[in-house]
Structure 1
Amino acid sequence: MPSQSSSPSFSRSVGFPIPRHDRFPDGSVKASGFELDGKLHGHWEWFRLDGSLMRSGEFDLGHQVGLWRTWDRTGRLVKETSFDRSTPGTSPADPATR
């Protein structure tokens, strides 16, 4: 009698991240990161039309996780927001909102 496989089941995707670059109408980069199974995944960055970095952070299959940062046009950090990694998509643990 054949034995049954005891391989673990995964709740996460086992595909490969695909690079994605969204562009403004003029062709400059608006956002850059990766997709996994059609969802934002891994490190992402958003830019302004002038090319300055506006925001960056991590996604876990479409859910914001970890530390997210926002900068002004001069490159000065203006905000940091932390999202709980243990429960992706939960409300931010931002000290400014407490």
Structure 2
Amino acid sequence: MFAYDSRHKIIIGIAIMVWAAWHFFLRGPVQDHYPNGQVKRSGGQVNDLNQGLWTWYHENGRKQMEGRFDKGEREGTWLTFSTDGDTLTKAEYVDDRLNGPYVEYGPGNRVLRTLVYSNDHPVGPTGERPTPAPGPGPGPR
């Protein structure tokens, strides 16, 4: 005859508590490494979404890219760097979209070009919307 056994509830309860502890408390920062042992990237996660400051590195150990995430979306200033450590680009993000100046740098951190973005779309080299090409005027009256 069938007899009810409730031991499975205890096992499932323990499994859920272990998973919750790992998921919410025990997970440390994310960190990957190159084969030579150098850190490749590091940052934090909350609920499996990138959160806070994240940094990527070149294989020589110098920074490659750095920026902040908020609930998995890029926010604020993001920088990219050459293998020599020179700044290559500086961009501003809001809600994971380019918004504001996007600056490209050359040798000696000299500004090569500045573009301005709004909601991930360029709006002009200095912030002005591009002027439309002149079209035909109104026809004869």
* Amino acid paired to 1:71: F
1:66 CA drift (Å): 0.2
CA contact (8 A) 1:18 1:36 kept: no
For residue 22 of structure 1, what is the aligned residue in structure 2?
A: 32
Which residue pairs with 1:90 in the alignment?
A: 97
Contact 1:64 1:89 in 2 (8 A): yes
Aligned to 1:33: 43
CA distance in 2 between counterparts of 1:74 and 1:26 reads 18
Structure with larger RCO (C-alpha < 8 A, sep 6+): 1
Partner residue, 2:6: none
Higher helix proportion (structure 1 or 2): 2
Aligned residues: 81
Given candidates 77, 82, 90, the residue that maps to 1:67 is: 77
Q: Is there any run of 5+ residues in structure 2 with no aligned partner, and where?
A: 1-23, 103-113, 116-121, 125-141
> Which letter does structure 1 place at the counterpart of 2:47?
D
In 2, distance between residues paired with 1:81 and 1:74? 20
C-alpha separation between the residues in 2 aligned to 1:45 and 1:19?
A: 12
Match of 2:62 in 1: 52
- Per the alignment, residue 78 of structure 1 pairs with 88
Counterpart Cα distance in 2 of 1:27 and 1:56:
20
User: What RMSD, in angstroms, separates the aligned Cα atoms of the two structures?
Assistant: 2.0
Identity of aligned residues (%): 26
Contact 2:53 2:68 in 1 (8 A): yes
Contact 1:55 1:68 in 2 (8 A): yes
Q: TM-score normalized by structure 2? A: 0.51
Distance 1:47 1:92 in 2: 25
With structure 1 as the length reference, what TM-score do the two structures score?
Answer: 0.71
- Change over 3 Å in CA distance of 1:18–1:36 after alignment to 2: farther
Residue type of the alignment partner of 1:90: R
